[in-house]
Amino acid sequence: KNIIEIENLEKSYENGHIKALNGIDLKIKEGEFVSIIGPSGSGKSTLLNMLGALDIADNGSIKVADYDLSKNKKLDEFRSKKIGFIFQLHNLIPNISVLENIEIPMFETKLSGKERNNRAIELLDIVGLKDKSKKKPTKLSGGERQRVAIARALANDPSIILADEPTGSLDSRTSKKILEQLNKLHKEKNVTLIIVTHDMNVAKLADRVIEVLDGKIIESSDNSLLNDNI
């Protein structure tokens, strides 16, 4: 089953002078791990933003997890129920604790305070940071902060995780750990994982690598058989 179906998606900026997406067609299966590569300015972030309904397309259709995002309806509900975002600059709130940061997306749900707290602790345990729950993000290392961002992205049990350069500012050992964690979620919970990256070592872990150039998909390569045999 496809969790994502995009047809002829177009997006311009600056009154049409910059064509960020120039006719994207893309289908992604539930539980698939896809990486998106391509040079700077090719449209990767724009595509990711469309998938998470952070931005709206000019033309074409985009359906994600049974929501028709081109209809521009229920987008808040879609984002909080279906999507977990991880950005390079993890956007954690600096002056509240790690635990409270993870609770934030759960305010969109019906969970009680106690349930939010328990869930946040459980998520911190998954990313191996239970002992740091009371710390402020500023007291953590880059890798630890990124793990907090992963925990926060998982808060509402999303069907899809969208990650923009999730290991961009991390050393290679830490980024390996972060990727292992993401890969584990993808494998164990059947989460659909979409990662934008400049790093071929990251990209090749995916089932499929999609290459974007000038707002178009120019190549899509299937690695799933390859990786299953490792």
By C-alpha distance, which of 148, 157, 166 is closest to 185?
Answer: 157
The answer to whether 166 contacts ligand ADP (rule: CB under 6 A) is no
Stretch that binds ligand ADP, among 13-21, 59-67, 110-118, 169-177 (CB under 6 A): 13-21
User: DSSP character for 142?
Assistant: H
Q: Is 94 in the site for ligand ADP (CB under 6 A)?
A: no
Q: What is the DSSP letter of 217?
A: E
C-alpha–C-alpha distance, residues 71 and 78, integer Å: 12
Write each residue from 43 to 82 as x if it is in contact with ligand ADP (CB under 6 A), else as -, in one continuous string: xxxx------------------------------------
Among 41, 94, 113, 128, interactor with ligand ADP by CB under 6 A? 41
175 binds ligand ADP (CB under 6 A): no
Strand 208-213 versus strand 192-196 pairing type: unpaired
Which of the ranges 37-45, 59-67, 135-143, 173-181 carries the binding residues for ligand ADP, by CB under 6 A? 37-45
- Contact with ligand ADP (CB under 6 A): which of 18, 93, 218, 226? 18
Interface with ligand ADP, residue 14, by CB under 6 A = yes
| CA neighbor of 50 nearest in space, from 144, 153, 164, 156 | 164
> Least CB distance from residue 137 to ligand ADP, whole Å?
21
Task: Figure out which of the listed residues 2, 13, 71, 72 binds ligand ADP, where binding follows CB under 6 A.
Answer: 13
- What is the Cα–Cα distance from 212 to 39, expressed in whole angstroms? 8
Minimal distance, residue 186 CB to ligand ADP, in Å: 21
Question: With CB under 6 A as the contact rule, which of the stretches 12-20, 24-32, 68-76, 106-114 interacts with ligand ADP?
Answer: 12-20
DSSP codes of every residue in 43-105: SHHHHHHHHTTSS--SEEEEEETTEEGGGT-SHHHHHHHHEEEEETT----TTS-HHHHHHGG
Could you tell me how far CA 188 lies from the centroid of its own chain?
A: 17
Residue 127 CB, shortest distance to ligand ADP, in Å, is 24
Angstrom distance (rounded) from CA 92 to CA 99: 11
Answer yes or no whether residue 107 interacts with ligand ADP by CB under 6 A.
no
Binding interface with ligand ADP (CB under 6 A): 13-14, 18, 20, 38, 40-46, 165
